[in-house]
Amino acid sequence: MNEKIATSPEKKAALEAIRLEFTGKSAKSQRERLFAALSRFAVSTFEAMRYLDIYDPRPRVHELRHRLNYRITTVWETIVTESGQKHRVGLYILEGRADA
């Protein structure tokens, strides 16, 4: 299992900019934020919750996979948060459209 610092300052800033661009709390708004982020980076559950304001990213990933037909792989990794605590989180990686 990989172990790394949770999020670089540059990635954090980019994720927060995406959050400001795609505002709202609806499932659609959350999907838009998550897709915009996944189009640029692999995104962990921790990052989606903390920086994209998606309380539970798993349903949004499910919708992107099964409703919108995107191939998203989940890889497990261990991160170290700002408080020094280790957490096992899913890392989502967008690989394209399933029908492509």
Enclosing domain of residue 71? 3-97
Q: Which of 81, 92, 83 is nearest to 3 (CA)?
A: 81
Q: Considering its fold, how many domains does the chain have in total?
A: 1
* SS3 assignment, position 14: helix
Tell me, yes or no, if the pTM score tops 0.85: yes
Task: Give per-residue pLDDT as tens, 52-62.
Answer: 999 999 999 99
**What phi and psi values does residue 41 have, to the nearest 5 degrees?**
-145, 165
Q: Which of 43, 27, 5 is nearest to 16 (CA)?
A: 43
Task: Give per-residue pLDDT as tens, 1-60.
Answer: 455 666 889 999 999 999 999 999 999 999 999 999 999 999 999 999 999 999 999 999
